Structure 1
Amino acid sequence: MITGVGKAVEDSNRRLLRARDAMDRRYAEPLDVPTLARIAHVSPAHFIRTFRATFGETPHRYLQRRRVERAMFLLRSGERSVTDICMDVGFSSLGTFSRVFRDIVGEPPSVYRQRGPLPAVPTCFAMRWARPSSFGEAPGE
C-alpha cells in the first residue's frame, strides 16, 4: 500500500520522467528549463532541484550529454562535417559544441572521429560502451 508521501514521490518521479523522455525524444530542439518544467507540471526552480536530486545532474547537463551521445554516433558513422553534426544535435555554436564534447568525452570531436567507424556489433552494445557518463569516468568503464 502506498502512503501519501509515497504517492507524492511516485507522482513527482512520473512527472520528471515525462520531462526526461521529452529531452530524449526532442534533444535536437531548443529546450529550456521553463518548457521542461511545464511538461513536468512544476515550477522551473522546483524542476531543477528535483531533477538533480533524482537523476544526479541538472536538466541542462543531461540534455547536453544526450546531444553529445548522439553526436558521438554520428561522428563515427558517416562523413558529415562536425559543424553539420553540431547543428543537427541541437547546438547553435560550434565552439560550445566542441567545448562541451571535450568536457564530456575527454577529447575534441575531430579526434574522436579519427577512431574510425563503429564496430560491427549490435548498436545497443556499441552505444552503451561509448555512452558518456555523468560521473566523470571514461566511456566503457
Structure 2
Amino acid sequence: MDAHFAEPLTVADLAAVAGCSREHFIRLFAAAYGETPKAYLARRRIERAKDLLRAANLTVTEICLLVGFTSLGTFSRRFTELVGTSPTEYRAAARAAGPPPIPGCVLMMWTRPAPKPSLPDKPPAAEGP
C-alpha cells in the first residue's frame, strides 16, 4: 500500500494479494495497524499531500490527484479532519515559515516514471564459425 498509495487500491484487491477474504483482511489489518486499510491509505495520502503542499509549487487540485484522491471535496474534507486545517491554510502556514517551494515542473520531472527499455526490432545476428 505504501509503494502504490497514489493508485486506485481496493480492499478486495489488497485481500487477494494477501490471500484471504476481504473481511478477514480488514480484521487482520486493523489488529496489526490499529486502523482499517481505508483509513491507513487515506492517512498515507494526506501525509504525502502535506509534503507536496509544503515543498511544491502545484495547485491543491494537482496535489489531490497526485496522491490518489479523485475528488477535491473529499480530499479537502479528509485533510481537514486529519490535519485540523484546510490544505490551503496548511500551505500558507508552511510557506510563511519555510523555504520557497520547488517549481512544479521540476517536481514532475523528478517523479516521472523511468522509461521502459525498448526491445530490439530483430534478434542479434548469430556469430558464424
* Smaller-chain TM-score bracket: 0.7 to 0.9
Q: Could you say which structure has the higher helix fraction?
A: 1
Match of 1:47 in 2: 25
After superposition, the C-alpha distances for 1:28-56 in whole angstroms (9 at most, x for unaligned) are 00000000001111110000011111110
Give the number of the structure whose alpha-carbon radius of gyration is greater: 2
Match of 2:45 in 1: 67
Distance 1:116 1:65 in 2: 19
Select the residue among 81, 87, 95 that pairs with 2:59.
81
Aligned: 1:36 with 2:1 = no
Identical aligned residues as a percent: 53
Q: Residue type of the partner of 1:94? A: L
RMSD between aligned residues: 1.3
SS at match of 1:114: helix
1:119, distance to aligned residue in structure 2 (A)? 5.1
Match of 1:99 in 2: 77
1:116, distance to aligned residue in structure 2 (A)? 2.8
Aligned residues: 98
Q: When the two structures are superposed, what TM-score results if normalisation uses the length of structure 1?
A: 0.67
Structure 2 segments unaligned to the other structure (5+ residues): 100-129
Q: When the two structures are superposed, what TM-score results if normalisation uses the length of structure 2?
A: 0.73
Task: Show structure 1 runs of 4+ deviating over 6 A.
Answer: none
Q: Greater relative contact order (Cα 8 A, min sep 6): structure 1 or 2? A: 2
